[in-house]
Amino acid sequence: MDAAQKIHLLSRELIPVINDLDENAVKVVLEHIHHCTECQHLYLNVMEMEENYPQAPIANEVDIKPLKKLVQFNRGLKLLLIAIRAVILLYIIYSGIQFYDWGTSAQAAISYIQSVTFLFYFPASLFLTIFTLVFFNKKWIWLSIIFDLTIILFIDRIITFFI
């Protein structure tokens, strides 16, 4: 088989996918088509079939609205996570205020609040952070980690600032 027959054979195989070929390959195939009548007929048939092939109408791109119930569920979970954190913190601070006299033993109350925060809030924050990791995006994960670390590490300073 000589080179011309090889080009003819390859051109017949490549004509149906000519639009997907590299520039150099397209030039070689088109050059062969100019010299070969059999390949010209094949090329014209392929182009005619491509033109007559029914094109799917291109619809205007529409934003896909998320499912309303799913969005409401997502918001509900976020509010639940915030409410759990708030209830735990309010209970810790309330118990610290109720058990200690702030006038005479403020430092003991703050120490109590710190220890109870580590005892109760820290495990709850771990669970809630893992829950956030599973159900929410990175923004919510980072916000919950930063908030929880701030509360755990600086609860004493936050309380002394407000009281």
Domain that holds residue 135: 86-162
Residue 46 is predicted with a pLDDT of 83
| Least confident residue range of 25-29, 81-85, 101-105, 152-156 | 101-105
* Number of compact structural domains in the chain: 2
Residues with Cβ < 8 Å from 90, sequence gap 6 or more?
Answer: none
The candidate with the shortest Cα–Cα distance to 146, out of 163, 129, 161, is 129
Backbone angles phi, psi at 22, to 5 degrees: -70, 155
Cβ(32)–Cβ(12) below 8 Å = no
Question: If pLDDT is split at 50, 70 and 90, which confidence band does 55 have?
Answer: low
Quote the DSSP letter at residue 62: -
| Least confident residue range of 21-25, 102-106, 108-112, 157-161 | 102-106
Question: If pLDDT is split at 50, 70 and 90, which confidence band does 146 have?
Answer: very high
How far apart CA 39 and CA 30 sit, in angstroms, is: 9
Same domain, 102 and 36: no
Provide the whole-model pTM. 0.56
Residue 20 identity (one-letter amino acid): D
The answer to whether residue 98 is domain-embedded is: yes
Percent of all residues in the chain with a pLDDT value above 70, rounded to a whole number? 91
| Least confident residue range of 13-17, 60-64, 94-98, 108-112 | 60-64
Same domain, 93 and 154: yes
The answer to whether residue 115 is domain-embedded is: yes
Same domain, 90 and 48: no
The answer to whether residue 73 is domain-embedded is: no
Cβ(46)–Cβ(15) below 8 Å = yes
Torsion of CA 137, 142, 143, 144, to 10 degrees: 90
Same domain, 145 and 94: yes
State the sign of the Cα–Cα–Cα–Cα dihedral 111, 113, 119, 125: negative
Residue 92 identity (one-letter amino acid): I
The answer to whether residue 74 is domain-embedded is: no
